[in-house]
Chains A and B, each alone.
Chain A
Amino acid sequence: MKCFTSWQGVQKEKNSIKKVMRMKQFLTFVQKEFYHVLRDKKTLLILFGMPVVQILIFGFALSNEVKNSKIVVMDQAKDISSQKLINKIEASKYFDIEESIHSQGQIDAAFKKGAIKMALIIPAGFYQNLVHEHKAQVQVIADASDPNIATALTNYANAIVQDFQTELNTGFEMPYTIIPETRMLYNPQQKSVYSMVPGVMALVLMLLCVLMTAISIVREKETGTMEVLLVSPFKPSLVILSKTVPYLLLSFIDIIIILMMSVWLLGLPINGNIFLLLAVSVLYIITCLSLGILISIKTTTQQAAMMISLMGMLLPSLMLSGFMFPIENMPVPLQVISNIVPATWFNNIIKAVMIKGLGPSFIWKEVLILTGMTLFFLFVSLKSFKIRLA
């Protein structure tokens, strides 16, 4: 009995020594990978600069609001009322009047030069018609090569003319007026950044975890250093794993940077639980890493890994995940494909947790799907890896 326990003890001790050894070996490998990553300053700069620049662009440069659109005005009336209307349009933030013109032909020319987005024509006798016939016209011609902007500008012009009309009637109140009061939920200033922050995160993580990881593993294959690592007494799967650790850490730092910038620079709220947010981000990072590993195992050249990551992963994540373009607008086949893009689910989670402030009960489905995907990628990688070794 005694003998047995001591034997067990020895065995245990041996095992624990082995474990410590393994751990140490693993850390050595991880250290080597860190050297690789940290030495390339240009790449590092871009890996950290990318999310910063993206946040700046989305936060401050791009806006879904249409404003300062250049227009021309053809005033054929030239009376008090038309002048008043023009002043009112000039004063609005939506329009910048480029010039006043006198003929239909000039409108055409201005559109073709790309100088204007809309033309406004006030026909002769504007004031007369208004006073005597209680009815007048203002014509709007929009450059519909961009249909959304055309619609928006026509709407704005309409609203300004309505306002103008109401002002004309000061003195007596318009009867029976329905006043719509509009509230913009979650994003009162309609900054595009609200829908973009999750997208920026998804994109940066794709880039780091899928593209960079895959390329760095494939490069070792290409240059032949992988062989050296694989003949070492270290488990091959751990060799691969050790290559992902630096990217995991860099990704996490990138997420923190993105979140800090969103909150402090853009005033974006984190309405939900921050720890939940970080936890699901880590889950998504791991999903991406396993995808990167899979690609690296399936390809043999850097260029091939690049092509697959870019065209097969990055582009779909960008276009089909719903962060730039609404999924419900897509034709059915693309909607189906969007379901197998991990970024779609991550996008949903981030919107729900960060902006809407929802709890775990709203996102369990997405979490389950991402976990399933991760396990699937790892399983397939492990299988094909073993086949290669055998």
Chain B
Amino acid sequence: MPDKKMRTILFLLQKEFLQIMRNKSIRVMIFVMPVIQLIIMPLAADYEVKNINLSIVDHDHSTYSAQLISKITASSYFKFAAYNQSFREAFILVEKDKADIILEIPVNFEKDLIKENKAKVFIAANAINGIKANLGSAYLASIIRDYNMELRSKLIAVTRYNPVPVIEVPSSNWFNPLMNYYYFMVPGILAILVTMVGGFLSALNIVKEKEVGTIEQINVTPIKKYHFVIGKLIPFWILGNIIFTIGLLVAWLIYGIVPVGSLLLLYVCISMYLLAILGFGLLISTFCETQQQAMLVMFFFMMIFILMGGLYTSIDSMPNWAKIIAKFNPAAYLIELIRMVVLKGSGFKDVLPHIIKLGIFAVVLNSWAVLNYKKTN
């Protein structure tokens, strides 16, 4: 008997593969999507903050203000946009998107610093782009702090003050010492790629049979429901693995990213994840009547999966309710898994909890899809 079951599934597989090979849209998706996405997206999706345009308003025109300014302009962080006479003038540059940050040095900056022991400078950042504003003003503040220290040690040497304890903070960056942004983005985009292709293909598949009417002919046969679903699952599972492999090759050839961890482990993660996301697609497929509907529904969930998957913004920073939603987001686990194995070389024990969770998703979603697929209405 198990022999007979295997045979039914083999016939289903044969049919699906023939159809997939003949479908032009799918061929484009398999071979063009990974290349386009992996080449264009990391280039476009560059969140790395560089090219911060700084505009400076110096009301003081003193030696110290000039020193501070030359220290800032010497740093590679900032692009010097303009030297303005008034804050108003600089602000117009911000309105026109010509400047991102304004540094304003008030009158009597030098005098206050010497006489009163302290002086203020003003930083105004265009916070419509929050990350840029955040990091930009932090950079600026740290340059000012450096200058401050230099200045202090110079001045203290002449005057007589008690030595002040200083704490140094040497920092090191692990796993990506050159702070290469692509190292961060490419593995994430690889995860998105597998999610999108797997999700859309599986969501559209059964619905298409409904729209065309071929599902009727299947429904009058004595085929088992789970055979049918397995027959749909396996081809896309293989396809997903192929796309992932193409993606890995592109990542290696173009970005020079070679997984630090075990390649085998990486495929274990992807395989488990594919079962989950394909199950989800098939489930949607059983709920919808037209391809338009299925695509829209999938798009809706895709958006939530990707946005709340920690690709661009960290899940740690989310409020609690969002963290709970993220726990039910399979894509979030995959993004983390790929980054762990590819960048940090995490081992099987490290990734096991996530793989188990993905396994639970796979079982639940696929069983649900089988239950919800009705041969008899």
Contacts and interface: CB of A to CB of B under 8 A. Distances in A.
**A touching B, CB within 8 angstroms:** yes
A180 B95 CA distance: 23
Interface string A93-132: 0000000000000000101111001000000000000110
Interface in B163-200: 163-177, 179-181, 183-184
Interface string B273-317: 000000000000000101111011101100110011000111011
Interface stretch (B1-9, B110-118, B236-244): B110-118
Nearest to A110: B350
B128 A150 contact: no
Contact of A130 (B95, B165, B303): B165
A179 B120 contact: yes
A355 B40 CA distance: 29
Nearest to B310: A146
Nearest to A144: B173
B319 A176 contact: no
Nearest to A156: B138
A207 B292 contact: no
A134 B166 contact: yes
Given A61-B322, A68-B317, A181-B120, A194 B167 contact: no
Interface in A275-315: 302-304, 306-307, 311
A73 interface: no
Interface in B21-52: 25, 28-29, 33, 36, 40-41, 43-51
A177 B166 contact: no
Nearest to B322: A61
B80 to A, nearest CB: 15
B165 A169 contact: yes
Interface residues of A, number: 109
A151 interface: yes
A214 to B, nearest CB: 10
Interface stretch (B219-227, B246-254, B338-346): B338-346
A64 to B, nearest CB: 3
Interface string A161-177: 11011001100111111
A124 to B, nearest CB: 15
A149 B120 CA distance: 28
Nearest to A303: B25
B94 interface: yes
B218 interface: no
B371 interface: no
A46, A154, A169, A183: most-surrounded residue (chain B CB, <10 A):
A183
Contacts of B347: 112
A176 B177 contact: no
A371 interface: no
Contact of B175 (A111, A186, A302, A326): A111
Interface string B143-158: 0110110011001100
A312 to B, nearest CB: 10
A112 B43 contact: no
B127 A216 contact: no
Nearest to A56: B322
A76 to B, nearest CB: 15
B134 A134 contact: no
B117 to A, nearest CB: 5
Interface of B: 25, 28-29, 33, 36, 40-41, 43-51, 68, 94-96, 113-114, 117-135, 137-138, 140-142, 144-145, 147-148, 151-152, 155-156, 159, 161-177, 179-181, 183-184, 204, 288, 290-293, 295-297, 299-300, 303-304, 307-308, 312-314, 316-319, 321-322, 325, 336, 339-340, 343-347, 350
The 8 closest A-B pairs by CB, nearest first: A64-B130, A144-B173, A61-B322, A184-B127, A190-B130, A187-B127, A140-B171, A144-B176
Given A180-B120, A181-B121, A311-B33, 20 more contacts: A66-B317, A135-B165, A139-B170, A145-B343, A154-B173, A165-B165, A165-B166, A174-B117, A178-B118, A178-B151, A180-B144, A181-B120, A184-B133, A185-B94, A192-B313, A195-B128, A303-B25, A330-B46, A334-B40, A334-B44
19 contacts: A43-B292, A63-B313, A63-B318, A69-B316, A130-B167, A134-B165, A135-B166, A141-B172, A142-B174, A146-B314, A158-B169, A165-B167, A169-B165, A184-B124, A184-B137, A186-B126, A303-B25, A303-B204, A334-B43
